[in-house]
Structure 1
Amino acid sequence: MEQGANEQHPAMMKIALLSISTVLTSSIAIAASIPDWLKAFPQQSRANVELLGTLPSLTVIICMLLSSWVAKKIGTRRTILMGLLIAGTFGIIPVFFSNYYVLFFARLGLGAGFGLINSLAVSLIGTFFTGQEKANLMGYRGSCEMLGNALCTYVAGQLLVHVGWHSSFWVYALSFPLAILYFLYVPEPAPSKEADGTPHKESINSKVFFWTLILIICQMAYTGSTLRISELVTSYHIGSLNGIAIVLSFAPACGVISEIFFGRLLHGMGTFLLPVTIFCTGLSQLLIAFSNNFVLTSIGFLATSMISGLVISYILNLASDICETNSLNLTTSLMLVGCNIGPFLSPIVLGWLNSAFGANNLRLSYDVFGVILLGMGIVMVFLSKSMSASYAKNENENGGLTHVDE
């Protein structure tokens, strides 16, 4: 059945549609297990072991780019159901095996499942809903991602502490009930076409590539912070594994708080919101780098989590303003790809930093990313001034009309 909304179960349709986003950012929910992985795989380098944490990002990127093609072949509904089943199956494989290469393969499969779902979870809201309802559901979707990540991270952390690192992978079994919920309540959307009946033809401009690059750098810094925080705290005796596991589970909740106030902050600060958030993220990284106190280290990490959410929301919010005609879906997909390239490259860059500086200092990455983000924040101040001038110019030329809904 093809339709624009589910008239029989509108509330459940929305819940089922939003619920699939709860697992999409959970690939590093098991980050607190990394110190145990290092012990379990002593023959592997730190970089190789840390790569397991972000490896799903590689196949997320590949399958995200393929998801539209797959959906055209088998349907959007089947693509999402297949993605959930793949993610659930490969996600729990590490529960039963202790071989590095089996985990490597399983993490690739997890990412493939998430990749088939990721961009469709965003675009389907625009397909089924319009106006303020669409805007509200977009915000709720972002909150679902962060709340789901918080829940998965907390459960994975508790399973790690009380059972063992293998058991933390049970969190990915959540994909199975989500598949059932989606199957029961979300219909197949009608295909999107131009007025003359031909499919959309999409393109990308240089502005989209620029903002995607900014997303890559910011996500690389945030993921690097998440990957190293557990080992930093335990190796330098700043706190306990259980303590930092709890902090990691609260980090996504901080992102939810920032998402709630994003609209108000954007209205009050305008284009200056981005440089301020990037600059503050740099300060948070440096706080972690120089802190020997668990409370201050936790504050720095939680602040990084909260502020990074604002950066992502700001840039994704630009998509409709900078994309070419009829190219919003492709623009959004490319930006989401950037959000996954950053995490994938993060452990590689962390290993390169240690090699380049000839050090095994866990604080080094926080120093480097902190300085880079501070510099980016300062540069963005000048970019924001030009963006503000353009905004004011467009507002005057269009009689106060600065945004046009698609």
Structure 2
Amino acid sequence: MSQKTVNASSWLFKASLLSLSLLAQTAPSISIANTQLAQQFPNVSQSSIELISTLPNFSVLILILFAEAIGNKFGIKRTILFGLGLYTIGGVLPALVSSFPVIIAARLLMGLGIGLFNPYSVSLMYRFYEGQQLKGMLGFQNTAQNLGNAAFGFLLSALIISGWRTAFTGFFVGLIPLILIWLFVTIPDDKGEMAEQAPAKASFKEAVNGHILLLALLFLITFAMFLMMTIKMAVLGQETGLFSPSAASSILALLGLASMVAALLYAPVSKLIGNFILPVSFTGIAAGFFIVANANSVATVTTGVVIAGIFFGWVFPQAFLRVAQVGPKNGGTLTTSVILMGINLGAAFAAPMVNAVAGLFGMSSVTGVLSLVGIGFTVLAIIEYIYNFFDRKPKN
């Protein structure tokens, strides 16, 4: 198959490719059902209930590093479609069962699906686009990710009213990118003429260098902390009596919308302040967490969530722009997978990690945990300001 058969500049191709990102952050959104799940399974600990929302991020780690090898063997498009099928089946299955272990297994299955298609949601952009067009697509990718998160949040806010089982049926959204990718995306095989013309891929040592590992660690910490906003929102409403689980889902949907709007501005802001966009983002996120932690009204909570969401909208595209800056040119899906592995590792263990650290400082209440996260982002911002001030190397 020739590269000429692919019209990567068409809006339909771009929209179908971006549809993969719609699902990227939907798995943890089911945390709004935590209070109902706790009532359904009274013998299960609160930490185990909270783990349901992040469990898919754990099983993502099993396949994410092998997604490229699986794609090379069976075809990238087939791998993506199979992953989307696993996501949908694993996402909806809990609505049909009453066994907590089966729900756990279904969530793990869902994560395996994400591990197959998620690396390609970014690496295919490196394959089809470059320069300012790549920057734009990375911004759109984060926009699509937050649009999916916001839309899914509003959907769950309606579904949760009918119970936690109905909420899980929301994961039928996996059919949207499955149909779009199947019908409108052509991905040339890494064979024949195309393989002969392509530069040699970087070795494992080059693709996974020290800079990439440090970036993976940075975004592991970032996502572990930020996800606490999602995990704790329903519990915050319950403990403070300020809002219901349905309202919590709507508030979190606004977080996604705020991030989506911010992501649309990523390319011009990045051009204006360069890599300082990351410490600025951390500063804004910290402010948002402090506002939510000290809020005494729904309006104040919503304000803090929106502020955190706006600045978080620049984190994800900046993560992969940094990859393009410090990673090898031909690192391929492997380099992207390492970053995604850090992100998903942080997301998978967000609750136990952050709760454990909060316990050490005697900040185990919901507001205490959110305040601790605000302090954590403040520390990251200071480190990033110092790093970028002294790092004057030109960025391509």
For 2:305, give the aligned amino acid. Answer: F
Letter in 2 for 1:304: A
Residues 352, 7 of structure 1: alpha-carbon distance in 2 compared, 3 angstrom cutoff: closer
Residue 335 of structure 1 aligns to which amino acid in structure 2? I
Residue equivalent to 2:185: 186
TM-score, normalized by length of structure 1? 0.89
Is the Cα–Cα contact under 8 Å of residues 223 and 343 in structure 1 kept in the other structure? yes
Give the alignment partner of residue 379 of structure 1, picking from 383, 386, 395.
383
Structure-2 change in CA distance of 1:18 and 1:279 (3 Å): closer
**Partners of 2:96 and 2:352 in 1: CA distance:** 27
Alignment correspondent of 1:397: none
Taking a change above 3 Å as real, the CA distance of residues 248 and 4 of structure 1, as seen in their structure-2 partners, is: farther
- Residue 246 of structure 2 is matched in structure 1 by 242
Corresponding residue number in structure 2 for 1:214: 218
> Does the aligned pair in 1 maintain the 2:355–2:364 contact within 8 Å?
no
User: Is 1:51 aligned with 2:51?
Assistant: yes
222, 226, 240: which one pairs with 2:230?
226
**Partner residue in 2 for 1:258:** 262
Instruction: Give the 3 Å change call, closer, same or farther, for CA 271–357 of structure 1 in structure 2.
Output: closer
Shift of 1:50: 0.3
Distance 1:263 1:17, change over 3 A: closer
Pair 1:284 & 2:288 matched: yes
Which segment is superposed worse, 17-26 or 92-101? 17-26
Paired residue for 1:42?
A: 42
Q: Which amino acid in 1 is paired with 2:352? A: I
Moved more, 332-341 or 4-13: 4-13
Q: Give RMSD over aligned pairs.
A: 2.4
Query: What residue is the counterpart of 1:66 in the other structure?
Result: 66
Contact 1:33 1:160 in 2 (8 A): yes
Q: Could you tell me how far 1:255 is from its partner in structure 2?
A: 0.6
Other-structure match for 1:81 = 81
Residues 1:296 and 2:300 are matched in the alignment: yes
The CA deviation string for residues 242-269 of structure 1, in whole angstroms up to 9 with x for no partner, is 3222111121111111111122222332
Structure 2 CA distance for partners of 1:23 and 1:363, relative to 1, 3 Å: same
Tell me if the contact between 1:23 and 1:175 (Cα under 8 Å) persists in the aligned partners: yes
Residue aligned with 2:188, SS: coil
Pair 177,327 (structure 1): closer, same or farther in 2 beyond 3 Å? closer
- Residue in 2 aligned with 1:267? 271
Tell me what 2:320 maps to.
316
Cα gap change, 1:341 to 1:26, in 2 (>3 Å): same
Deviation at 1:112, TM superposition (A): 0.7
Quickly say closer, same or farther: Cα 1:372–1:132, change in 2 above 3 A.
closer
- Amino acid corresponding to residue 141 of structure 2 in structure 1: R
User: Alpha carbons of 1:185 and 1:348: their partners in 2 closer, same or farther (altered >3 Å)?
Assistant: same
Alpha-carbon shift at residue 138 of structure 1 (Å): 3.1
The 8 Å contact of residues 237 and 248 in structure 2, kept in 1 or not, is answered as yes
* 4+ aligned runs moved over 6 Å, structure 1: none
Give the deviation of 1:111 after TM superposition: 0.8
Match of 1:127 in 2: 127
Query: What corresponds to 2:147 in structure 1?
Result: 147
Q: Structure 1 residue 385: deviation in Å?
A: 0.8
Q: Judge which range, 315-324 or 47-56, deviates more.
A: 315-324
What amino acid is aligned across from residue 171 of structure 1 in structure 2? G
Checking the alignment, whether the CA contact within 8 Å between 1:257 and 1:306 is kept in structure 2 is: yes
3-state DSSP class of the match of 2:366? Answer: coil
Q: Distance in 2 between matches of 1:330 and 1:8?
A: 22
Amino acid at match of 1:201: S
- Does 5-14 or 272-281 show the bigger shift? 5-14
Task: Classify 1:7/1:376 alpha carbon distance in 2 versus 1 (closer, same or farther; 3 Å).
Answer: closer
Distance (Å, rounded) in 1 between the aligned partners of 2:8 and 2:128: 14
CA distance in 2, matches of 1:296, 1:60: 35
Q: CA 1:354–1:125 in structure 2 vs 1: closer, same or farther (change >3 Å)?
A: closer
Do the aligned residues in 2 keep the contact of 1:319 with 1:328 (CA within 8 Å)?
no
> Does structure 2 retain, via aligned residues, the 8 Å contact 1:92–1:173?
yes
Give 1:172's aligned residue: 171
Decide which structure has the larger Cα Rg and report it.
1
Q: Distance in 2 between matches of 1:323 and 1:236?
A: 45
Q: CA deviation at 1:104?
A: 0.5
Q: Is this contact kept in 1: 2:212–2:326, CA < 8 A?
A: yes
Contact 2:266 2:314 in 1 (8 A): yes
Q: Percent identity?
A: 23
Show the 5 A alignment for 1:151-166: 151-161=151-161, 163-166=162-165
Contact 2:33 2:245 in 1 (8 A): no
Distance 2:65 2:83 in 1: 14
CA shift at 1:315, angstroms? 2.5
Q: Find the counterpart in structure 2 of residue 90 from structure 1.
A: 90
**In structure 1, how many angstroms separate the alpha carbons of the residues matched to 2:137 and 2:277?**
23
Asked if 2 retains the 8 angstrom alpha-carbon contact of 1:288 and 1:297, the reply is yes
How many pairs were matched up? 391
- Matched residue, 2:203: 201
Q: TM-score with structure 2 length normalisation?
A: 0.91
